[in-house]
Structure 1
Amino acid sequence: MCMSSGLKSATIPAFANETDRMALLDFKNRITKDPLQIMSSWNDSTYFCNWLGVTCSSSIKRVIVLNLTAKKLSGSIPPSIGNLTYLTGINLENNSIYGEIPQEVGRLQHLLHLNLSGNSFGGKIPTNLSYCTQLRVLDATYNNLIGQIPDHLNSLSKLVYLLLGVNNLTGNIPAWIGNISSLRALSLIQNNFQGSIPSELSRLTGLTFFQLALNNLTDTIPPLIFNISSIYFFSVTKNRLHGSLPPNVGLTLPKLKIFLGYGNNFTGPIPVSLSNASQLQFLDLGQNGLTGTVPQNLGSLQGLVRLNLNRNRLGNGKDGDLNFLSFLTNCTHLEDLALSFNYFGGVLPSSITNLSTQLTHLIMVGNMIRGSIPIGIGNLVNLEMLALCYNNLGGTLPDVLGKLQKLKALYLNDNNFFGPIPSSLGNLTTLIMLDMEKNRFEGRIPPSLGNCQYLLSLNISNNNLTGTIPKQVIGLSSLSIYLDMSQNFLVGALPFEVGNLIHLSELYLSNNRLSGKIPTTLDTCHSLERLYLEGNSFQGTIPQSLNKLRGLEEIDLSRNNFSGNIPKFLGKLMSLKYLNISYNNLEGEVPSEGIFENASQISIFGNNKLCGGVQELHLPTCTRKNLHSSRKLLALKIVFPVTSMVIFVLVLLYFYVTCFNVKNSRERALTTSSFEDRKLRVSYAELLKSTNGFSKNNLTGSGSFGSVYKGILSGNGAIVAVKVLNLQQKGASKSFINECNVLRSIRHRNLLKIISACSSTDHEGNDFKSLIFEFMCNGSLEQWLHSKNDEQHQSKRLRFIQRLNIAVDVAYALEYLHHHCQTPIVHCDLKPSNILLDEDMVAHVGDFGLVNFLCEASNNPSKSQTLSLGLKGSIGYIPPEYGMGSQVSTLGDIYSYGILLLEMFIGKRPTDEMFKNGMSIHQFTAMALPEHIMDYVDSSMFFEEDEEDVDDDIEEKQIIEEDFNVNVNSRIKDCLISVFQIGLLCSKTSPDERIPTNVVVNEMKAIRDKFLKHKKQNGRRMS
């Protein structure tokens, strides 16, 4: 070793330093990814004590600290780490280190700090750690550790921090932890621990941080736990604990700042003594079985930021239940107040207007509250959500609601409000959701609502509204979820501006007094799935322009004055599932195709001049007499005008036929050459050579019907992915045909591009079929979300913005398949392993072996039924209606997309063990939103940012001795909440409640664009 003799210790032999140097070099050799070039300094030109991340003792020249925090390193830890016997600290947090923690770490008997958090370590906790008896900090949070906490670790009697949260640990929480008297922080969050909380933990008299949330713990909390007076953070959220909270909890925990008991089975009253915990900031006892009244003295908690008491049994349905609100006015930092789904009664007190001006969420849904909304509500200028629905409130709405400029959601439905809808609501320009249904509002719909340019859904149904529909409202192009004005007394014609609703999914105008013809502009509403116009006085024929609305699933035109024939195009709307045209003046023959084949899906009562149709309708057979009036009308309206065109058409016919033949022959030639010629150019022999004989070293993945190999074509040197079908597998041949049928007719930036196909025989005469695709060098999304922990599958991490980009890419691909192909295509198997990433991390949807053309399903119902009964797709991503025999539809893909979206940002598969006993990834996310979502997201997406971007995106939760600080960037949290809301809407159990593909695209793109715009405005460099 080239080293100045002056650098060597006079008392320590040379081999001691050499041992450390060789151990460090061994560690360097295990690093497989080093984008910041940290390891480049680890070379013989520099004394190893000066290497980056290495600290040596000045006296003995031995390595005492190895600190490589957040250096984006990937690799594993070698057993030789045990040779650094003078180490006192190892900090590898926020990297991508994988593999098992070596048993040899137990040789480091001087070790004080071991921080391995935020990596991908797997396997069990090494038992030899028990020899590190001087250890003060053991932090292995955010990894993939399995098994039980070894009893051997009971020797670590000097631990101050024991942090093992967010792993896959199992078994019981060891009772011996209670013997570690020096312990100040214990975090075992989000594992699979079961059983009860050991009463021995009450011996930890110096404990400040106690976090056991998101496990399977049962029984009651040992009362003595609440006697640990030093605790300031206490979280047992989402377990199955029961029993009542001790009445003196606030006295015994005087330093308490955060108390999270959400989602258990706690009963009894809220302890009055909580007011003695004067530093309390977060009190979350939602979704329990608490009873009684809310203590008034909670108002003495001046630092209170959030109070969640949703879904309990609080209140008695009587006056006085809400008296505590007047005392909460002293909580000047209060931001969130949630009191929904309890038994609160009495009048809504005017004291709510004196609550903190910092209040953003006031949620009192589903109680028995009466009275009116106080005029002083305008004082709450920072409100973003006001939810008072499902109560007994009444009176008129105050104009001051228009002062709540930051309001995004206003829910007043299912009450007894009356009087006019204030025009001042038009000032709420940030409003997204407005629901006022089932009240007694009267007067005209204020045109000013058209100023709410971000409104996604508007429901003013079941009121006493009169007058005409304002064109400013019916033309609000932002509306995309639904517009419901049904069950009112609206009159006049439906404005032509209805054609502006190009993103709208559901339109309900039923049971009003509307008249005139349906505007032809309605044909521009391409996203429309449900159209309900029944119970009005619309007249004229059912417009042919509705033929353009191919996504319509439900139509109700009953109880109007429509006349003429039933348009045949209704039988050709492939997605149509329900049609009601009863009680009109329709006549002539009932079509017999499409939806008209199933009498249970249509209703035609009250049209006495109809005939024909399927036998189940029991209509008279069409005769000349039946058809006379309709033919006469046809002659007047169609035949004569058409005759005037015949001569012109005959003149053009010759030129048309000639041109068509020439064009058609060219198109056939181009189509053939574009796919068939390409697939003939690659032979079995060439594929055999390009993949080194289909070598295992070239194998990149395998699926239900075959394997995928990396190959290099000899002709042009192109790197390709060769999918070889296993023809012994049932359905493989059909899968090959399916993919060929699809891939010959589609092309999109976010779909996997096919290069060629080969259908031949191998050298032994066996059938051989393969598809050759463009090679995606970054593999599948599955490999990035759930990477294995070994050298062959190096741990990968997707940054937050990369996940957003991928989500948008996949949405674009689905929109193309569903809406922009000649025949709508349902993918049927959307999941991470079927999403490939190119060198720029652009997502490409692949594997079209299970696709379904919607025209096939509609033309052959028996075939569609078979596909459904066969559960077409992958477990966890299959929409529930497929399991009940429903036909394949685009909404099935939307369900899979929703599950995929949740998986991408939570980091857990929908089949993960934590989703059992009735719990699903959908329910899990719904219960976490919005308050706890940052506790459960995949934190690894925040660890891979560039150094200058780390603070911009998120600061990881830090546990320090004097304080606990949660500092999560609100911009990312808001963005994540929006993403999860889209995921939840997509993965609704009922397909009728899911949002359409184009809405998904628009919403996801808007979320990403808003995130990037905000980042750019702050002058920060994009990742």
Structure 2
Amino acid sequence: MLPSSIYNISSINRFGVAGNNFHGELPPNLGILLPNLVEFYCDINNFTGNIPVSLSNASRLQLIDFFTNDFTGTIPGESLGSLRSLIWLNFAVNRLGNGKLGDLSFLNFLTNCTSLEYLGLSDNRFGGEIPRSIANLTTQLQVLDMGVNLLHGSLPKGIGNLINLIVLYVDLNYLAGVVPEEIGKLKKMGELYLEDNKFSGPIPSSLGNMTSLIELYMEKNNFQGSIPPSLGNCQNLLLLSLYNNNLTGSIPQKLMELSTLSISLDLSENYLTGPLPSNVGDLVHLTWLNVSNNKLSGEIPSTISSCTSLGGLYLDDNKFEGTIPQSLKDLKGLEELDISSNNLSGQIPDFLGKLGALKYLNLSYNDFEGELPKEGIFSNVSGASVLGNHRLCGGIPQLHLPTCHKNKHHSSGGPFPPKVVIPISCALAFIIALSCFFIARSMLKKSRDGLVTSRSYKDWKFGVSYSQLVESTNGFLVDNLIGSGSFGSVYKGVIPSDGTVVAIKVLNLQQQGASKSFNDECKALRSVRHRNLVKIITACSSIDNHGRDFKSLVFEFMPNGSLDSWLHPRDEEQSPSKRLNFMQRLNIAIDVASALDYLHNHCETSIVHCDLKPSNVLLDEDMVAHVGDFGLARFLLEASNDPSLSQIMSSQLKGSIGYIPPEYGMGGQVSIQGDVYSYGILLLEMFTGKTPTDDMFIEGLSIYKFAAIGLPDHVMDVVDPSLLLDLEADGSVNDDRYERTALPRRNNHGMVKAKKVEECLFAVMQIGLSCCAVSPRERMLLNMVVGKMSAIKDSYLKVQEG
């Protein structure tokens, strides 16, 4: 329940108890006890009962936020309608309404609230039809959220009167009928959610008038007719979802001209015909293209290779014919490709096995022939499917394909007779054997000198001796020490032979398990390659000057140091110069998420980092982030099941208090979900400027709660002050950008820009909080994090360009 002490301050004008797990009912005389309230937050709690009618007594109220509680009953419309200054009203995620006709009748009274800009009603039990009085709500309304309810009927006439709407949610209801053409009057609309209803009839061509539209969701309805070419006018569109409807006709070429489409284009599960337009290559930023389950025909256009950002391509269940275009080899980032159930033929090209990012490939039920490749995705029986191609042969044994029969050339058909070939072959074999002997002898000698060669560790550029490392670091001088951890210290060094600047990690062999960690780290590091992982150059296993074991790893040097040194500079004189702007933080966050996604989902064996924190994120000369110390993960995973090493693992985790997921503290096993939690904390730290162990986090307050309290409408109050300085410098925000009570009025371009930036920051904080969910199952997947953060980046760039 609310603390009784608040009622002793009748003059209070702003009261917030967000995210405190309060329960019980609000006092029915709340508005009488607090008559001077201007803002009232009780979101993210467990309040029950009815909305107090007495709120009308607080006649100055401008903001009411009851988001995420358990309120029941009806909304007192007449009471709230008397609050003429109301700007923000949020009842989303409660149990309001009875699923019956008239549940939204309170909207008739809200027409008196002529300053209302935000109305949140989603995730409740409102039933019946949307009343026509909604058309009489103030034209100041910017966000109308009625999704996830039990609404029936159709969109009412007059919806086009709400000319300042930028977001409209009516998704996951039972709305039916035709979407009126007048919806095209909403020219400021940025996000339109109509999905998962029973809408029918044609898609209104007037949607093309919504030139500010960023995301359009119309899937899972009964829309008929063709896709209107006018959608090609929506030059800011990032996402278009029309799947699972009854659409017919061809895909408009004008739709392919939307080069802004970067998140997703999903036209699947319809009845579309004709070819996939050849100008599909214009979608150069698109990451997800799905046209499966249609009746498309013709060949797969080779121009699709221009879509170099594609991560998922789904062309299955159509009537495509011809061969797989060789140009698809340019899709280096492709992770999923499904072209099953078509009429494709010819040989399966070898380049598919060389697409390093590919983790799912479905070629089933076509007419492919010839030998199946064995490398890359084709070596993974669970990742590649070739069922129903009866003329294939070869491949890995687990696929049980017939053996390929190759024509054998007899001596009469060869260019050289056996009496020539045999002596030459024997001579070559002798030369090769002799060469191997001398190479092996040379390598043995070098290993005694403390070298690890590129033959021992694949792809390493050179070997390095202990004496060279001593020379490169001036005898491991303290001045060259750039970091230390549980398993050793890191020094900056310069390799004498070629002047290469490196980071040298010297393992502390007095630490139990350090020697084993060296071997495990070598195994892990030499098998992984990603632009956002710290790259190993070489290793050294030798004896030091005192006759003790010496083991070290040599990494690429990162001239801009760690993320920690940028977020929390120790030297006050350097603070102004070491300041990350908004775009740099977004890029670093995307880089780190990409690295973790690779470790978790794209390595031969999934690798858990276990110790993600800003000091383990290093920045190169271009401020590209590289995650380090991931090589210890496999060792830690093994140690978790080894009683003799449990203390080592425990001390490693204790070294990063604040980033450890709660399940680890209760004895849970390390997991990729644990890394997601650590990433969420890191993300909140990057944008709040607070460490998870900041002195302010006492008496139950944490970085999670600190960020949550600022959402949804006070995000700027929890943002890193140094970040705000940069945003003010580039004109994205300014000191008078807000009336403290609500969203900014859109009376000029600067205010629009400020609002867009706030929305980007809000979205980042939401992702951070989602990653930090207490339950591991509720945490956001990292591939989704990468996609959402990239979309935020694109949205921010559009703000800057605008």
TM-score (structure 1 length as normaliser)? 0.59
2:39 is matched by which residue type in structure 1? I
**C-alpha displacement of 1:950:** 11
1:843 is matched with which residue: 623, 630, 633?
Answer: 623
Q: Are 1:239 and 2:28 counterparts? A: no
- How many residues get paired? 713
Rounded Cα–Cα distance in structure 2 between residues aligned with 1:920 and 1:525: 43
1:1007 is matched by which residue type in structure 2? Y
Does structure 2 retain, via aligned residues, the 8 Å contact 1:511–1:534? yes
**C-alpha displacement of 1:511:** 1.3
Q: How does 1:252-267 map to 2 (within 5 A)?
A: 252-267=33-48
Q: Which has the higher contact order (CA 8 A, sep 6+)?
A: 2
1:1004 is matched by which residue type in structure 2? K
Q: How does 1:768-783 map to 2 (within 5 A)?
A: 769=552, 771=554, 780-783=562-565
Rounded Cα–Cα distance in structure 1 between residues aligned with 2:638 and 2:258: 42
Q: Structure 1 pair 892/521, CA: closer, same or farther in 2 (3 Å)?
A: farther
2:183 is matched with which residue: 397, 401, 404?
Answer: 401
Rounded Cα–Cα distance in structure 2 between residues aligned with 1:287 and 1:754: 48
Rounded Cα–Cα distance in structure 1 between residues aligned with 2:119 and 2:380: 51
**C-alpha displacement of 1:548:** 2.8
Q: Are 1:276 and 2:57 counterparts? A: yes
Q: Which moved more, 1:301-310 or 1:986-995?
A: 986-995
2:215 alignment partner in structure 1: 433
**C-alpha displacement of 1:587:** 3.8
Q: Which moved more, 1:511-520 or 1:982-991?
A: 982-991
Rounded Cα–Cα distance in structure 2 between residues aligned with 1:949 and 1:488: 45
TM-score (structure 2 length as normaliser)? 0.74
Does structure 2 retain, via aligned residues, the 8 Å contact 1:558–1:582? yes
Does structure 2 retain, via aligned residues, the 8 Å contact 1:587–1:608? yes
Structure 2 stretches lacking a partner, 5+ long:
409-453, 455-459, 643-648, 772-778
Q: Structure 1 pair 757/556, CA: closer, same or farther in 2 (3 Å)?
A: closer
1:287 is matched with which residue: 49, 53, 68?
Answer: 68
Does structure 2 retain, via aligned residues, the 8 Å contact 1:898–1:982? no
The SS at the match of 1:994 is helix
The SS at the match of 1:547 is helix
Does structure 2 retain, via aligned residues, the 8 Å contact 1:282–1:307? yes
Rounded Cα–Cα distance in structure 1 between residues aligned with 2:705 and 2:294: 38
2:684 is matched with which residue: 902, 921, 924?
Answer: 902
Does structure 2 retain, via aligned residues, the 8 Å contact 1:408–1:432? yes
2:508 alignment partner in structure 1: 726
1:1007 alignment partner in structure 2: 796
Q: How does 1:472-491 map to 2 (within 5 A)?
A: 472-491=254-273
2:293 is matched with which residue: 511, 529, 538?
Answer: 511
Q: Which moved more, 1:719-728 or 1:502-511?
A: 719-728
Rounded Cα–Cα distance in structure 1 between residues aligned with 2:593 and 2:48: 47
The SS at the match of 2:71 is strand
Rounded Cα–Cα distance in structure 2 between residues aligned with 1:804 and 1:705: 34
**C-alpha displacement of 1:831:** 3.8
2:587 alignment partner in structure 1: 808
1:374 is matched with which residue: 156, 170, 176?
Answer: 156
Does structure 2 retain, via aligned residues, the 8 Å contact 1:281–1:303? yes
The SS at the match of 1:333 is coil
**C-alpha displacement of 1:423:** 1.4
Rounded Cα–Cα distance in structure 1 between residues aligned with 2:502 and 2:384: 51
Does structure 2 retain, via aligned residues, the 8 Å contact 1:809–1:842? no
Rounded Cα–Cα distance in structure 1 between residues aligned with 2:75 and 2:381: 56
The SS at the match of 2:35 is coil
Does structure 1 retain, via aligned residues, the 8 Å contact 2:581–2:726? no
1:463 alignment partner in structure 2: 245
Deviation sequence 1:215-237 (CA, Å, 0-9, x none): xxxxx124574464222211111
Cα RMSD (Å) = 5.3
Q: Structure 1 pair 579/709, CA: closer, same or farther in 2 (3 Å)?
A: closer
2:29 is matched with which residue: 224, 243, 248?
Answer: 248
Rounded Cα–Cα distance in structure 1 between residues aligned with 2:356 and 2:497: 45
1:843 is matched by which residue type in structure 2? M
Does structure 1 retain, via aligned residues, the 8 Å contact 2:360–2:383? yes
Does structure 2 retain, via aligned residues, the 8 Å contact 1:488–1:511? yes
**C-alpha displacement of 1:559:** 2.3
Deviation sequence 1:214-261 (CA, Å, 0-9, x none): xxxxxx124574464222211111111111111111122211111111
Q: How does 1:930-941 map to 2 (within 5 A)?
A: 930-939=712-721, 941=723
Q: How does 1:854-865 map to 2 (within 5 A)?
A: none
Q: Structure 1 pair 599/779, CA: closer, same or farther in 2 (3 Å)?
A: closer
Does structure 1 retain, via aligned residues, the 8 Å contact 2:371–2:404? no
Q: How does 1:95-110 map to 2 (within 5 A)?
A: none
Q: Are 1:392 and 2:174 counterparts? A: yes
2:446 alignment partner in structure 1: none
Q: Which moved more, 1:380-389 or 1:562-571?
A: 562-571
Deviation sequence 1:595-616 (CA, Å, 0-9, x none): 3444444444433444454454
The SS at the match of 1:490 is strand
Rounded Cα–Cα distance in structure 2 between residues aligned with 1:563 and 1:719: 52
Rounded Cα–Cα distance in structure 1 between residues aligned with 2:331 and 2:726: 44
1:570 is matched by which residue type in structure 2? L
Rounded Cα–Cα distance in structure 2 between residues aligned with 1:423 and 1:444: 10
2:470 alignment partner in structure 1: 684
Rounded Cα–Cα distance in structure 1 between residues aligned with 2:754 and 2:523: 41
Q: Structure 1 pair 760/893, CA: closer, same or farther in 2 (3 Å)?
A: same
Q: How does 1:309-324 map to 2 (within 5 A)?
A: 309-324=91-106
Rounded Cα–Cα distance in structure 1 between residues aligned with 2:561 and 2:684: 20
Does structure 1 retain, via aligned residues, the 8 Å contact 2:504–2:554? yes
Q: Structure 1 pair 590/462, CA: closer, same or farther in 2 (3 Å)?
A: same
Q: How does 1:417-428 map to 2 (within 5 A)?
A: 417-428=199-210
Q: Structure 1 pair 584/879, CA: closer, same or farther in 2 (3 Å)?
A: farther
Structure 1 stretches lacking a partner, 5+ long:
1-219, 632-667, 669-673, 1015-1023
Does structure 2 retain, via aligned residues, the 8 Å contact 1:785–1:798? no
Q: Structure 1 pair 973/936, CA: closer, same or farther in 2 (3 Å)?
A: farther
Deviation sequence 1:131-165 (CA, Å, 0-9, x none): xxxxxxxxxxxxxxxxxxxxxxxxxxxxxxxxxxx
Does structure 1 retain, via aligned residues, the 8 Å contact 2:715–2:762? no
Q: Structure 1 pair 726/979, CA: closer, same or farther in 2 (3 Å)?
A: farther
Q: Which moved more, 1:1001-1010 or 1:372-381?
A: 1001-1010
The SS at the match of 2:24 is strand
Q: Are 1:308 and 2:90 counterparts? A: yes
Q: How does 1:929-968 map to 2 (within 5 A)?
A: 929-939=711-721, 941-942=723-724, 953-954=734-735
Rounded Cα–Cα distance in structure 1 between residues aligned with 2:728 and 2:704: 34
The SS at the match of 1:369 is strand
The SS at the match of 2:313 is strand
**C-alpha displacement of 1:945:** 7.1
Q: Structure 1 pair 489/740, CA: closer, same or farther in 2 (3 Å)?
A: closer
Q: Are 1:522 and 2:312 counterparts? A: no
Q: Structure 1 pair 519/715, CA: closer, same or farther in 2 (3 Å)?
A: closer
1:347 is matched by which residue type in structure 2? E
1:462 is matched by which residue type in structure 2? N
**C-alpha displacement of 1:1008:** 5.9
Q: Structure 1 pair 879/305, CA: closer, same or farther in 2 (3 Å)?
A: same
2:775 alignment partner in structure 1: none
Q: Structure 1 pair 868/423, CA: closer, same or farther in 2 (3 Å)?
A: farther
Deviation sequence 1:291-312 (CA, Å, 0-9, x none): 1110022111000010000011
Q: Structure 1 pair 518/912, CA: closer, same or farther in 2 (3 Å)?
A: farther
1:635 alignment partner in structure 2: none
Q: Are 1:534 and 2:316 counterparts? A: yes
2:164 is matched by which residue type in structure 1? N
Does structure 1 retain, via aligned residues, the 8 Å contact 2:562–2:619? yes
Does structure 1 retain, via aligned residues, the 8 Å contact 2:743–2:755? no
